[in-house]
Structure 1
């Protein structure tokens, strides 16, 4: 039985998530390592739980308290990025770019004058990385790669100041792994090489020892383990994130894709049903995501021999009132749905 491939949105979702610096943990026994650290962590937790308006208010308050510090602008940009990824929309691209450009404006002169501290370099590197992701997603792969390389260089400067600065391990680990994937046909060349394991190791360290990037590293590892077919390790991290952030939909997407890849149709359907319910509660007109969920559901039912249920779901997908932009973006999925519907009707 041939299994349909998982949507390419995984790659975007992953990259977007790789660049999304969020974490929350109990730091009461630790010294404050950034001004207004608790305010930052509260905003991050709200973002993880998809309370975007409240998160924006937290980071706007941080900007008002520290207008010359890049932290507030960076994390506010990450809220807008999270919203766009959650909605599969470019609705907040202006705000996203404005805040990242402000981060660069505040930190790049310090880098050039060699007066930047490791935190300045961390935010500058991640600003470049976030902009690179956005450009790559929108077709600018070459410019996106150039920005990713620039991000790597800046993060390495942060490590030169402090080799145990685990916050920087997240971005560097992500870069090494995904660059190796992107250039795998050249990995036999000595100066390029395959640095996937190096990337994984750096992310594992960040997932255990970073403060602000601990859980982003866990998210990154979920998708890397998924790609490497290390499904049990991925599911363990999924369970951890679901326990901490019950409103966070990304672990549900990850679990659904993992079950789908393992041909575990029944468990996949259970997760997809809950994911669809969450989308309908908060984004009932988000037809892009509803197509994603229901296309997988239709294939699961088909593989279980439930042709009539599969047929009904396919018809519902094709009956959605889609605008031209969604039709274009989901053209491949809609074409596959039409073919699956014909198979069910035989």
Structure 2
């Protein structure tokens, strides 16, 4: 091997050129995905209608919001029978199961989520080979999003990151084909916010990743203001992100809007509300909120209950009692 000064200088020049090229590529990639300018729809304008599934999607989402998951799944089954080669029914089924698991902190439906998300990806990809329907891109992008979440739960960080990128590509394609598909901004906003807020490992590997939490918050707000189907989910997602960012009042405002929209309130909105009241040290409200949530959690059969979730509710109730000076009641609950 030649170790002459001339050879070393050539190697150094090659290395510097490679580094410069890598930096230029990273900057180009950032510039490509840095479309931070968002549309400004007119007040009251809603996203485009999915003419194929409009009424069904609206009904399924409503049933999921109020905890009637079994009924929502029956409706999904009827869609499967009518359109077995379309990604919409598979994505709807996966969404119901994800909602059920997140609302009750369960894991037993993950296989159903994985199966239906993959079928949505497969059927949607096949149809996209001969169609430029923006809703197909939306469905496939959303399915990749569900798969990314599943991989996060399994600590498959790289797989989750790659699926998140695939989800973004399809959702951005949907927006290029129909700029009024504002529902897509919820998933994009969640990706941009939580990728930065919860990806220390990825930023160590992919050190060029920018902090795009502000963009994520603005995208979720756009979905709240102008989404047609995803508004309730976007409200909860926005409240969670603002809570994570330390914006307690912004989180409470979004949470209140959701509480005013869905009756009975969702488990997730009650839990976040209780935590927000704890931040305010409004202990009577903390007690009241977690008691309401605990009652909801114990209504379902034992096979669909999370003991850990119930224990956490009792912890917050005990803490609220203690901070109100009701020490004996707090000890009795903790015993």
Does TM, scored on the shorter chain, surpass 0.5? yes
Q: TM-score range by the shorter chain?
A: 0.7 to 0.9
1:293 aligns with 2:313: yes
Q: Cα 1:255–1:59, aligned 2, differ >3 Å: closer, same or farther? A: same
* 2: CA distance, partners of 1:238 / 1:209: 17
1:203 aligns with 2:220: yes
Structure 2 regions of 5+ residues with no counterpart? Answer: 1-45
* 1: CA distance, partners of 2:104 / 2:219: 30
* 2: CA distance, partners of 1:182 / 1:235: 22
Structure 2 equivalent of residue 53 of structure 1: 70
1:255 aligns with 2:255: no
* 1: CA distance, partners of 2:281 / 2:119: 46
Structure 1 equivalent of residue 243 of structure 2: 226
Structure 2 equivalent of residue 100 of structure 1: 117
Task: Please list, as runs of the form range in 1=range in 2, the aligned pairs for 1:1-346 lying within 5 A after superposition.
Answer: 32-111=49-128, 113=129, 115-183=131-199, 191-247=208-264, 248-282=266-300, 286-315=306-335
Are the counterparts in 1 of residues 223 and 230 from structure 2 also a CA contact under 8 Å?
Answer: yes
Per the normalisation by structure 1, the TM-score is 0.76
* 2: CA distance, partners of 1:280 / 1:167: 33
Deviation sequence 1:145-178 (CA, Å, 0-9, x none): 2211221122122222223321211111111111
Are the counterparts in 2 of residues 184 and 194 from structure 1 also a CA contact under 8 Å?
Answer: no
Shift, 1:110, TM fit: 4.2
User: How many residues get paired?
Assistant: 286
Deviation sequence 1:80-109 (CA, Å, 0-9, x none): 122222332222222222211110111123
* 2: CA distance, partners of 1:309 / 1:232: 30
Shift, 1:33, TM fit: 2.9
Per the normalisation by structure 2, the TM-score is 0.78
Are the counterparts in 2 of residues 107 and 116 from structure 1 also a CA contact under 8 Å?
Answer: no
* 2: CA distance, partners of 1:31 / 1:233: 28
Structure 2 equivalent of residue 330 of structure 1: none
* 2: CA distance, partners of 1:70 / 1:42: 18
Structure 1 equivalent of residue 15 of structure 2: none
* 1: CA distance, partners of 2:213 / 2:77: 37
- Secondary structure, counterpart of 2:85 in structure 1: coil
RMSD (Å), alpha carbons: 2.5
- Secondary structure, counterpart of 1:193 in structure 2: coil
Q: Cα 1:222–1:92, aligned 2, differ >3 Å: closer, same or farther? A: same
User: Computing the radius of gyration over CA atoms, which structure comes out larger, 1 or 2?
Assistant: 2
